[in-house]
Amino acid sequence: KNEVEQSPQNLTAQEGEFITINCSYSVGISALHWLQQHPGGGIVSLFMLSSGKKKHGRLIATINIQEKHSSLHITASHPRDSAVYICAAHSGSARQLTFGSGTQLTVLP
Amino acid sequence: EAGVAQSPRYKIIEKRQSVAFWCNPISGHATLYWYQQILGQGPKLLIQFQNNGVVDDSQLPKDRFSAERLKGVDSTLKIQPAKLEDSAVYLCASSLLRGPPYEQYFGPGTRLTVT
């Protein structure tokens, strides 16, 4: 069983819809990352959070440490949001990331 | 500030051939990571360097993969000989060494196809 589980694996939405991607982890963490990967392969860090909630533009990330669960929300989704979204747990003294398998998001115009 | 640089971006080789990837991290980042990302999966750590020393290479297939970071700056990852299952995107990332868990900055990746 993967230590970081994401759902759903694939998500198709219409432009303007509110989107939620979920991440559950079983390891103790010091921080959790949400990353965005476009088809070219490069990965961009969206958020790093260890408690509460962070917001950047139309993106919101929340984390519940007690429940070991995090969510990424996208408000007013747009086709340019189409990408793979990956959550990754930061744990251990070696500062390593354990990655989920990603959620492929497609936003249709 | 320049990001993490990787080259080449794409490489196609036949099985049993060798290949090398290069990574130049963000200036001042002491920690460097190489990841392998197979299609449809999240990245898997192959090796982590701290300056020019290896912190973790437990998931590196050492019979065919090798990596070095001789001067504690740029790094090379080599596969010799390649197998079909090595087809993947190879990502390099870097981060600061000390303090809270700093985020990792990723390069654009090298997409390897082994035929």
State pLDDT tens for residues A50-92.
899 999 999 999 999 999 999 999 999 999 999 999 999 887 6
Residues of chain A that touch chain B, judged by Cβ-Cβ distance less than 8 Å: 4, 30-31, 33, 35, 40-45, 48, 86, 88, 90, 94-97, 99-102
**pLDDT tens for residues B60-103?**
999 999 999 988 899 999 999 999 999 999 999 999 876 566 77
* For B50, nearest residue in chain A (alpha carbons): A94
In angstroms, rounded to a whole number, what is the distance separating the alpha carbons of residues A58 and A18?
Answer: 10
What distance in Å separates residue A36's CA from the closest CA in chain B? 11
Residues B5-43 have pLDDT tens digits of 999 999 999 999 999 999 999 998 999 999 999 988 899
Nearest by CB: B42 against A94, A95, A99: A99
Average pLDDT of span A44-50 = 90
> Where does the pLDDT of residue B2 fall: very low under 50, low under 70, confident under 90, or very high at 90 and above?
confident
User: Which chain A positions have a beta carbon within 8 Å of B108's beta carbon?
Assistant: 40-42
Residues of A with Cβ-Cβ distance to B37 under 8 angstroms: 41
A22 CA: distance to closest CA in chain B (Å): 15
How far apart, in whole angstroms, are the C-alpha atoms of residue B26 and residue B3? 6
d(Cα B83, Cα A18) in Å, to the nearest integer? 43
Q: In this structure, what are the phi and psi dihedrals at residue A79, rounded to the nearest 5 degrees?
A: -55, -30
Residues A33/A92, Cβ–Cβ less than 8 Å? no
pLDDT at position A2 is: 65
CA neighbor of B11 nearest in space, from B101, B113, B109: B113
Residues of chain A contacting B95 with CB distance shorter than 8 Å: 95
